[in-house]
Structure 1
């Protein structure tokens, strides 16, 4: 179910980027709802797992070839390749503990807020449909 919801959210995001004027209007007035939908899915996943996942960016250094060098020619001697240290960022996802009771309260509040946003968006959605009929 969560995979379907995530796929649907990704699809809506793509549609919003290249949709009709009506779809773009509706996407504009429902932006907060889509953000909240993603947060609700994340919170539900955290509760199901019993912990949250956090992304951290870590920097690693690698010894890499900076200059490949060149072979000798009739006019110049060979130049050996040169190596140097380069920093590379990588993202690491790690589990972190959460307070499950607080997470349940947060999820309930987000669901209530989602309902109120949906009610508030109905007139704006109707206006988008009236302004940009398909």
Structure 2
């Protein structure tokens, strides 16, 4: 519960209005805490599902309409279209098996790191709010 409260305390000012000096200060000084929290959430999701998600880039081909400009003998341009095959890159998500014991160790390590960073993140948020008070 405390972890969610700390995360909300950091996330709410960032969502309220982007780009103020206070928000930039908070973002700059809590980036490691937010990264560790994100990784921890991902690992906990992996453990709950029993597998992880990964992404890969896949090149696919599809039939499309291509255009070309042809000039007549007077130099006037005429645009014509024709059917052609074009490559495009698609991102594909797929399941990856996990080792539950290794994921649990990873989760425990991330939880310890998050707890260690939480107090400094709260102090940074307080210092940024004091240094850059926002008027409403």
Query: With structure 1 as the length reference, what TM-score do the two structures score?
Result: 0.73
Worse-superposed segment, 101-110 or 33-42: 33-42
Shift of 1:54: 0.8
| Unaligned residue ranges in structure 2 (runs of 5+) | 71-75
- Give the direction of change, closer, same or farther, for the CA distance of 1:59–1:92 in structure 2 (3 Å limit): same
Instruction: Give the C-alpha shift of residue 119 in structure 1.
Output: 2.1
- Who is 1:121 aligned against? 121
Deviation of residue 83 (structure 1)?
2.3
* CA deviation map 1:74-99 (0-9, x unaligned): xx9x9874222211111111111111
Residue in 1 that maps onto 2:33: 33
| Distance in 1 (alpha carbons) for counterparts of 2:130 and 2:13 | 22
Q: Which runs of 4+ in 1 moved over 4 A?
A: 11-14
Matched with 2:98 is 98
Deviation (angstroms), 1:12: 4.8
Distance, in Å, in 2 between the alignment partners of 1:103 and 1:123 is 30
List gaps (5 residues or longer) in structure 1: 71-75
Q: What's the RMSD between the two structures over aligned residues?
A: 3.1
- Structure 1 CA distance, aligned partners of 2:60 and 2:109? 40
More strand by share: 2
Aligned residues: 121
